[in-house]
Amino acid sequence: MAFFIAKKMSTFKIYLFILLFLFASFSFGFLIGILNNKLIDFSILEYNPNKPSILLDDEGNEWGRFELDKRGYTKFEKIPKHLIDAFVAAEDRNFFKHLGISWKGIIRSIFVNLRHVKKIQGASTITQQLIRLLFFDSKKTFKRKLKEQCFALLVENQFSKEQILEMYLNYIYFGCGIYGVEAASQRFFSKSIQEISIGEAALLAGIVKSPLNYCPLICPESSKKRRNLILSIMYDLGYIKYEDLQKEKTGELKFLNSNQNLACHLKETIRIFLEEKFGKQKVYSSGFKIQTTINSKIQKIAEEEFKKQFINLKKELCEDVDGALISMDSKTGEIKAVVGGFNFLSSKFNRAFQAKRQIGSLFKPIIYALAVENGISFADTEIDEPIEIEFGNSKWKPNNNTRNFEGKMTLARALSFSNNIIAIKVLLKIGCHNAVKLAKKFRFADQLNPYPSLALGCIDVTLKESIGAFNVFANDGVYIEPHYLKWIKNEQGLKIWKCNPEKEPIISSVVSSQVAKVLTLSVKRYIDKLENKTFKCEAIGKTGTTNKSRTCWFCGSTPNLTTSIYIGCDNPKSMGENIYAVKTVFPIWLALNDRINIDKINFSYDPSLKETTIDSFTGEKSSDPDNPNKVTIFCSK
């Protein structure tokens, strides 16, 4: 109890010292002497608009920008009275009466803070907020508060209320990189501040308390509630009539449609890259032109379909399930869409580039590619049966996802149905070390161990690595590095950075074509199971599901676009039993490709190959039109 009282007294002494210092300084002329010397010179704050860095999509249209200033400086006389009233009501009701600090507010905060034995409430006037905005950080310390209050007194003596308010309204932050009331009005309402309504003015005034919580682009419902509160305060203070209050409270929030919230995770990744390479100041003020590979139309569709499916998955599986998506041009490696997670505001973690997940059965096409390189045909057969493999002093008994064994089948069926047992047998036949050598060429950064479990994809990869590897089969055996930036130009139009993506033939087109042909079987089977569903072009695809359904993958390619998607919890915990890619992420891939324009209908396969129709179990040629097990594969002529 004694300690508690002592702690309270200590806090009280600090506040008492602040009050006495300010009172003595102000009363006996200490500050007046400083004021006459005009130590605070606001001429350094004359408006000097920084030139933003612009993000361009693959058609040359702006889809994002990095900037500190958004519009020109607005003089006080051009700011409408109801906007001034809204900010005074929201932030400082006695602004036109006090001398820079609020004595009532300070005394009130002292008692509140003493009651809680810690600093929980401040007493900032608009003048103090301006001082903090221009000269200090937002860290809550007594030392900073004391400086802030002293500076506020200086400013109030040196400048008029109108000048202070003018500066404040031109520099205040509204979230999403928006500074100043004119910028906010243009961004939110597509109009100048001279045109905004009372309700729109109240909305702007309500944001500055906490842009993260009240910016209408981020939290429209919270913004609306805050707007209505400010309107009520304006009415209580006599700034607006009752009919204005009722009219504006029921007004709907309508905002300008913009690309500025497009590809938020990718934009953040680009920002970090640019700041590390060029420095923060240059990124926000040097007028860079940043040519990205993003296609705004595909990006919007990808975000819409991803969100639509994940809303359902969060209800059906668990709330914390998340994932990512990347779509890229199959031939150039240019990334056309990135979704780094379900909600950028709740998590800036870019799962498309940062999350590492076990790849699972997505690895199997690489095993079969090596087998084909070694003269094995997809018409060859193996036995799907229980096996036991010794690992030093332990034994491994792998199983299929179905927990069933089908006996003899072709390698074509084994790959298209993602059979585990036969993938392991093929790996053991071609050699684990040989598989590791080939897999390294696919640009996997994780450690690759020459173990039989490699056949089941027991390595961790990023989504970016997965799409780069799978795309080899859509690109005639050539690896092309997935990339989202092409070049950066400075204000003078000179290129100061250029992307040089890696490109290397990994497997022959003869091999990639044979694997790709088999991978068309899976996609066709998934689509055939859907009622009244057809697909407009040829497609290859592969699913992957890791142990206990911690991660589900789908990688798929059309002749135009390769897309990789995963779903999983960040921890990562199991999403439940019998959770597979066909029901979770394949629908996103299908919906995306259904909505975009596709120029090419068929893949270009190696001309030295010929199509052969076989029975998927026996491997024998089949011309029977009624044979339900027949499949078409490529064989050498």
Which alpha helices (DSSP H) does 376-458 contain, by range? Answer: 411-416, 420-430, 432-441
For the packed helices 364-373 and 509-528, what is the interaxial angle rounded to 10 degrees?
140
Instruction: Supply the mean pLDDT for the chain.
Output: 86
Segment among 115-124, 175-184, 331-340, 429-438 with least mean pLDDT: 115-124
More confident residue, 313 or 30: 313
Is it the case that residue 45 has pLDDT exceeding 50?
no
8 Å CB contact between 120 and 113: yes
Is it the case that residue 11 has pLDDT exceeding 70?
no
State the pLDDT at residue 37.
42
Gap between the Cα atoms of 66 and 53, Å rounded: 5
Cβ partners under 8 Å of residue 413, min gap 6: 419, 616, 617, 631
Q: What are phi and psi of 286, to 5 degrees?
A: -100, 0
Residue 563 pairs in a beta bridge with: 327, 556
Count of other CB atoms within 10 angstroms of residue 106: 17
Is it the case that residue 334 has pLDDT exceeding 70?
yes
State the pLDDT at residue 393.
80
Segment among 29-38, 296-305, 607-616 with least mean pLDDT: 29-38
Is it the case that residue 290 has pLDDT exceeding 80?
yes
Which alpha helices (DSSP H) does 406-499 contain, by range? Answer: 411-416, 420-430, 432-441, 463-470
Concatenated DSSP letters of 109-137: HHHHHHHHTS-------HHHHHHHHHH--
Residue type, 540: I
Residue 251 is given by DSSP the state: P
CA dihedral 610, 616, 619, 621 (to 10 degrees): -60
8 Å CB contact between 539 and 519: no
Cβ partners under 8 Å of residue 611, min gap 6: 517, 632, 633, 634
Gap between the Cα atoms of 613 and 275, Å rounded: 56
Average pLDDT over residues 502-526: 96
State the pLDDT at residue 226.
94
CATH 3.40.50.300 fits 2-37+69-249, yes or no: no
State the pLDDT at residue 151.
73
Q: State how far the alpha carbon of 95 is from the alpha carbons of 90, 113, 129, 160, 333, in Å.
A: 11, 23, 12, 11, 57
Is it the case that residue 192 has pLDDT exceeding 50?
yes
Task: Measure CA 236 to chain center.
Answer: 42
More confident residue, 44 or 89: 89
Gap between the Cα atoms of 103 and 88, Å rounded: 17
The predicted-structure confidence for 444-473, as pLDDT tens digits, reads as follows 998 899 999 999 999 999 999 999 999 999
Is it the case that residue 25 has pLDDT exceeding 80?
no
State the pLDDT at residue 143.
57
Gap between the Cα atoms of 381 and 369, Å rounded: 16
289-292, strands of its sheet edge to edge: 62-66, 53-56, 289-292, 485-489, 495-498
Burial 331-345 (b: 16+ CB within 10 A, else e): bbbbbbbbbbbbebe
State the pLDDT at residue 28.
36
CA 513, 356, 259 angle in degrees (round to 5)? 85
- The structure's pTM equals 0.74
Cis peptide upstream of residue 572 (ω within 30 degrees of 0): yes
For the packed helices 420-430 and 364-373, what is the interaxial angle rounded to 10 degrees?
40
The predicted-structure confidence for 239-275, as pLDDT tens digits, reads as follows 999 999 999 998 877 765 555 579 999 999 999 999 9
In the chain, list all ranges with CATH 1.10.3810.10: 2-37+69-249
Gap between the Cα atoms of 459 and 455, Å rounded: 10
Gap between the Cα atoms of 64 and 483, Å rounded: 18
8 Å CB contact between 467 and 333: no
The predicted-structure confidence for 372-400, as pLDDT tens digits, reads as follows 999 999 999 999 999 999 877 888 999 99
The secondary element (H helix, E strand) that includes residue 144 is helix 142-158
The secondary element (H helix, E strand) that includes residue 188 is helix 181-189
Please, what is the end-to-end C-alpha distance for the chain in angstroms? 93
The predicted-structure confidence for 121-169, as pLDDT tens digits, reads as follows 445 888 888 877 776 555 555 555 666 667 777 777 788 889 888 988 9
8 Å CB contact between 207 and 175: yes
In the chain, list all ranges with CATH 3.40.710.10: 300-636
State the CATH architecture for 300-636: 3-Layer(aba) Sandwich (3.40)
The predicted-structure confidence for 610-637, as pLDDT tens digits, reads as follows 999 999 999 999 888 889 899 999 987 6
State the pLDDT at residue 70.
58
Q: Is 218 exposed, middle or buried (0-12, 13-18, 19+ CB in 10 A)?
A: middle
The predicted-structure confidence for 570-625, as pLDDT tens digits, reads as follows 998 999 988 999 999 999 999 999 999 888 899 999 999 999 999 999 999 988 88
State the pLDDT at residue 401.
87
3-state secondary structure of 410: strand
CA dihedral 144, 149, 153, 155 (to 10 degrees): 50
State the pLDDT at residue 71.
58
Q: Which of 213-222, 298-307, 343-352 reaches the highest mean pLDDT? A: 298-307
- The residue assigned the tokens 């109009």 is 191
